[in-house]
Amino acid sequence: MTDSTAIALLSGGLDSATAAALAIKSGFRVIGLSFDYGQRHRRELDAAVEIAKALNLAEHHTINVDLAMWGGSSLTDHAQTLPTSGVETSIIPNTYVPGRNTVFIAIGLSLAEARGADRLVLGVNAVDYSGYPDCRPDYLEAFQDLADLSSRAGREGHGPKLWAPLVEWSKQQIAEEALHLGIPIERTWSCYSGGDVPCGVCDSCRIRDEALLAAGRPDLCSPGRP
């Protein structure tokens, strides 16, 4: 398996770090890819660099694609309020960046083709984030169909396969696997805000802290937790 390359999208958060580590465990040579898309803070990009080093990735690229240019999301638009009231699974939350995952996966496929990679590793998770249309299994299946038609390698029958190992996992399962894989969880960044320490009150912090508590690691929870 050591001849096979995988591209792993790295947000700097816990989920994508866990997915990348699972690809390494499966024997892939892993190249990390992160996106400077005009997010509110660079803290998560710094975390992605840290995780790439900690996992000893073969390469790590951060590409600029300024989706904040046209607004439309509280993750990039400073005029909107971040949600702290809990994820409603039937409603698309206002942290939604228009087309973000579609752009990220498309760019990941470009790098995958340039490197002859067999897999594109995604940390997307539909259980805690089913409010996002672009984190659901039917979306990923449609993207695979597109990928198989979009590239030279795909048309020739050996294009990259999307691999989202965490898509049906609970956040607690992800936290437990991350601990099992030895991921330096304290170096990942999931908080929507970009302070010195995670805020502990945004939805992302709350979900992560609940999972770490359930996994028996209160010491890894956000310092800002109420």
Binding of residue 146 to its own copies (CB under 8 A): yes
Binding of residue 101 to its own copies (CB under 8 A): yes
Is 5 one of the annotated binding-site residues?
Answer: no
**Which of the stretches 10-18, 39-47, 80-88, 135-143 binds its own copies when contact is defined by CB under 8 A?**
135-143
**Which of the stretches 16-24, 139-147, 176-184, 197-205 binds its own copies when contact is defined by CB under 8 A?**
139-147
Binding of residue 98 to its own copies (CB under 8 A): yes
* Min dist. Cβ of residue 63 to its own copies (A): 6
Binding of residue 79 to its own copies (CB under 8 A): no
Binding of residue 107 to its own copies (CB under 8 A): yes
Binding of residue 32 to its own copies (CB under 8 A): no
CA 157 – CA 134 distance, rounded (Å): 25
CA 94 – CA 108 distance, rounded (Å): 25
> What are the residues facing 162 on neighbouring strands?
120
Binding of residue 115 to its own copies (CB under 8 A): yes
Is 13 one of the annotated binding-site residues?
Answer: yes
Is 20 one of the annotated binding-site residues?
Answer: yes
CB nearer its own copies, residue 110 or residue 193: 110
The binding site for ATP comprises: 10-20
State the residues that interact with its own copies by CB under 8 A. 61, 63-67, 69-72, 92, 96-103, 105-107, 109-111, 113-115, 133-134, 136, 138-139, 142-143, 145-147, 149-152, 154-155
